[in-house]
Amino acid sequence: QVQLVESGGGLVQPGGSLRLSCGASVGSLNYYAIGWFRQAPGKEREQISCISSISRRDGPILYADSVKGRFTISRDNAKNTVYLQMNSLKPEDTAVYYCASASGCSRDGNAYDYWGQGTQVTVSS
């Protein structure tokens, strides 16, 4: 079991950057694939990226074309943390961002067992 905690959200101007963190208050993230999702008001949840566990060789996967070249997922195993670096932010990136754990990266959100509480990202001038 793992309990996930996101942090790093906030208000940023268009073109700015934020780095979101996904940590664990209970358990180790190292044995899980970690995905980042977001949900804007009135929109469906969107999967942004996923990074495999340290024991898998699937490699990081970026699902959303809208974030390719702007967002980067990474993990620091020593710190038990997965990061989502977000650059060149746009107003349409405004959403609540969630991290979630799974046994392996999947495009199916139902494959993710544990979810954090979310962190708000607002991109506005």
CA 24 remoteness from chain centre: 13
Planar angle of CA 4, 100, 50, nearest 5 degrees: 130
Q: What percent of the chain has pLDDT over 70?
A: 96
- For position 60, what pLDDT does the model report? 63
Average pLDDT, the chain: 92
Residue 90 predicted with pLDDT over 70: yes
- For position 57, what pLDDT does the model report? 58
How many C-beta atoms surround the C-beta of residue 121 within 10 A? 22
Q: How many residues does the chain have?
A: 125
* Residue 51 vs residues 15, 34, 48: alpha-carbon distances, Å: 25, 5, 11
9-59 per-position pLDDT tens digit: 999 999 999 999 999 988 888 889 999 999 999 999 999 999 988 777 556
120 confidence band (pLDDT: 50, 70, 90)? very high
How many C-beta atoms surround the C-beta of residue 39 within 10 A? 14
- For position 49, what pLDDT does the model report? 93
